[in-house]
Amino acid sequence: MKNDYLKIRTADYTYELPEERIAKYPLTQRDNSKLLLWDGRAITDRVFSELPSLIEPESLMVFNNTRVIRARLLFRKETGALIEVFCLEPHNPGEFALNLASAGPVEWKCLIGNLKRWKQGSLQAIFTHGRSEHRLTVERVSAEGDAFIVRFSWGGGMLFFADVLEAMGHMPVPPYLGRADEDSDVTSYQTLYARINGSVAAPTAGLHFTPAVLAGLSERGIERADVTLHVSAGTFRPVKSEVISDHMMHTEHFFVDRDTLEQLRGKKITAVGTTTVRTLESLYWLGLSSAADLWPSEGIPFVSQWEPYESEALMEPDVAIDRLLEVMKRKGVSVLEAKTDIIIVPGYRFRFVSNMITNFHQPGSTLLLLVAAFTGPAWRNIYDHALSSGYRFLSYGDSMMLIPGSRQ
């Protein structure tokens, strides 16, 4: 079964995206964005403010409540060279909350921009926090693939690394915007319900939500639940290989609490964004591997890239949730922590997600493959309609509501 998925050609999942269709900035009023509705048969054009009327009452909407951190740090060398250090994920301490709350030196896995101009030694920058000046020192510790482990130190005291990032970091707006971050991005590149620091990219389907839309959902009796998946820079990584089997997925860290797991049982679920989809579907495979006693004896559980395609999985989704709840009870924890490399490609059978809200994604990307897995061949009609009907694309663009109906 796995070999069928490995033969998927990237060229079959691409399209022509004119530069002028990429939204460089969001709309002033978030919920005025266009919403393409696909019900498994027909496509209609709506406005995002209408969303509450499109969701079935008593269903469950799941959101990714991660918060984007100012992950880009810029350093000017004495020679005038500008070096960018892009924080990808914490290394020591390896847990996001502990690392960001540290008042001492921390280490992160980072990408380095203009690396050839930083051959040795440390980088330094002066920044202001409150009324005081501080010096941030950055040192390369070791290489890790195309990234580096980097140590940050700043004198400690009561200044946490989260404060350092807030004081001198830049918002990591997507490179395809073709512009530097601006003051407006501090709020516009953040969902209304962002709570947990850790992402280096926004879960962009959530950028359209406003207080009015959320209130409308509540008025219709639609339940809400949160998961936390810290979006990595790998979400922008294009698939450069001819076949998908040669593409290596990025790892993303996620957290789901007991209350959310219990809410998932027996519900028709609308996932807000592909990151939420990846989290929910990863839960199924974690439950399956737990039942097979395949979790590591130490560290946190992990869903590998091709795990969903390596065997026939017959466990019911609610049973998978029960397995996870049992493990959490046995370990005495209220939050499930895990990592996932899962890739969702055409032919994948969705276990938890019934409906999806998502933006329009880059040609030849793993996110477009995920949408194609959800809609089948209809993805091309959906994108053709959006291109011919004036929709705005990518992170700051418009969105779609996908309701496959009797897809499975």
| Per-residue model confidence as pLDDT tens digits over 157-198 | 789 999 999 999 999 999 899 999 999 999 999 999 999 999
Neighbours of 137 (CB within 10 A): 15
Residue 64 DSSP SS3: strand
pLDDT higher than 70, residue 77 = yes
pLDDT band at 408; cut points 50, 70, 90: very low
> What architecture is the 2-68+187-402 domain classified under in CATH?
3-Layer(aba) Sandwich (3.40)
Q: How far apart are CA 303 and CA 297, in angstroms?
A: 15
* Choice between 299 and 148, residue whose per-residue pLDDT is larger: 148
pLDDT higher than 60, residue 207 = yes
The answer to whether 343 and 249 are in contact (CB under 8 A) is: yes
The amino acid present at 401, given as its one-letter code, is: M
Every domain range in the chain assigned CATH 3.40.1780.10: 2-68+187-402
Query: Which residue shows structure tokens 């999985």?
Result: 313
| Per-residue model confidence as pLDDT tens digits over 81-134 | 999 999 999 999 999 999 999 998 999 999 999 999 998 899 999 999 888 899
Task: State the average pLDDT for the chain.
Answer: 94
Question: How many angstroms from the chain centroid is the CA of residue 120?
Answer: 33
The phi and psi torsions of 382 (rounded to 5 degrees) equal -60, -45
